[in-house]
Amino acid sequence: MATALALFTFFLLAYSVYSAPIPQNVSDGCNDLRNCRTMWGLVYGCLLTVFACVWTAVHPNVPQHDGDIWSFSSHVGLMMASLVSPEWILGTAWRQFMLSRRVSKKYKMVEGWTLTHSYFVVMDGFFDPSKGKVVVPEKLQKYPGIIEKTGNTRKAAITRKEILDRSKGDAISKCLVVLQLLWFIVQYVGRWGTHLNRSQLETMTLAYAALSVFVYVLWWNKPVNIQCAIHVTKETSDTNLDQPTPKTELQVDADLVQLSGPQETEVLFIFAVTGMIFGGIHCFAWSFPFPTHTEMILWRVSAIYITVAPVVGMFVGWVADQVGEAIGAGVILVPISVVYACARVILFVLTFSSLRSPPPDLYQTPSWSSFLPHLG
């Protein structure tokens, strides 16, 4: 409901922006008002898209404390992490996606078990109050409230529909946000294809949008903004004594394979690749017009650094994992991270400072873009 209300609000704001009159001095080369945009419209569309990337795209885990403030703070924390390091969010989404797939594969013989169930387990959705801990994937079959045992059959005690009923998002709201992100990517490519200038702000927004589409795909089956975990109790030793306990792949014994997520090296590789994509997109503005030569040099140096730094960080992390020298890796990674943060701040400032002297055709829009529905 909250997501739908937010999207409706965005639509009204976008409609008001596009309904506003366009100043006559927007651009000397923009004579057809139907194919023009204002500076406010450009900025608003970019900020709307970035908001969709850093707020609606993130899927926080179930908070382990009561109260809306904990849920809100968790979401805000993920939002800030997504704003500062979207490649880290994508790496987290990849880790949870791979672990959820392995959980689904392990419990594929459980009737009614879906990938949504696996995501709910991975996001700490089941909680054992007697232990004061969340239920880990290896222990699911010990809880009748998660997996019901009847003779030789195993069945999910909670249906996928019941889990999604707790979720604050659905497929329609997710599709709307993904379509908005795809629209932004298409219009950016369209401007490039028609040889119209793109702004540095649009380039930065494109970087966020590209990574967020992948985040949405990885977290598509993950419930959104669930406020509280489902409490379950571990079965007692005298439960089901009159029922046979045949040896199955779900049997709890020494042969049970520990479920684990992707290896650290794999996560580091994903982080490096996505970091290169994010930084590489900023390099698209390499030959864009800048107000001063100094700003152009700062943009180029910062864009190159945020493209290369994740690869260096991956290599340092991999070497530290091989030799078991975490302290030495930290000594190297801390200054790399500090400089990375400075480079991101420089790029952020330059995206807005460069708008003070835009090229004339920046206000023009491709003629076909007005026929496609979009927000911002």
Contact between 213 and 281 under an 8 Å Cβ cutoff? The reply is no
* 1-5, 137-141, 200-204, 265-269, range with the lowest pLDDT: 1-5
Is a pLDDT exceeding 90 seen at residue 84? no
Mean pLDDT of the chain: 78
Does residue 33 surpass a pLDDT of 90?
Answer: no
User: Looking at residues 55-62, what average pLDDT do you find?
Assistant: 83
Question: Using an 8 Å Cβ cutoff, are 321 and 265 in contact?
Answer: yes
Output the pLDDT for position 202. 94
Whether 39 has a pLDDT exceeding 70, the answer reads: yes
Contacts of 1 (CB under 8 A, 6+ apart): 168
**Would you state the structure tokens that stand for residue 28, as one six-digit string?**
């000397």
pTM over 0.85: no
Structure tokens at 254: 């020494």
CB 295 within 8 A of CB 348: no
pLDDT of residue 35: 66
Averaging pLDDT over each range in 73-77, 126-130, 240-244, 267-271, which range is the top one?
Answer: 126-130
Q: Say if CB 110 and CB 143 are below 8 A apart.
A: no
Q: What percent of the chain has pLDDT over 90?
A: 28
Helix (H) or strand (E) holding 127: strand 126-128
pLDDT for residue 372? 56
Q: Which residues pair with 231 in a beta bridge?
A: 127
Q: What is the mean pLDDT of residues 287-303?
A: 94
Question: pLDDT confidence of 263, banded at 50, 70, 90?
Answer: low
> How many other C-beta atoms lie within 10 A of the C-beta of residue 219?
24
Report pLDDT digits (tens) over 328-349: 667 788 888 899 999 999 999 9
Residue located via tokens 């419930």: 223
pLDDT of residue 290 exceeding 70 = yes
Distance CA 168, CA 4 (A): 9
Q: Across 82-86, 98-102, 247-251, which has the greatest mean pLDDT? A: 98-102
Cα–Cα distances (Å) from 338 to 213, 270, 364, in that order, read 27, 21, 38
pLDDT at 299 over 50: yes
More confident: 218 or 253: 218
pLDDT, average across residues 31-40: 70
Structure tokens at 358: 């835009």
Q: Is 101 exposed, middle or buried (0-12, 13-18, 19+ CB in 10 A)?
A: middle
Residues 344 and 84 sit within 8 Å (Cβ to Cβ): yes
Query: Band of the pLDDT at 227, cuts 50, 70, 90?
Result: confident
Res 316: pLDDT: 81
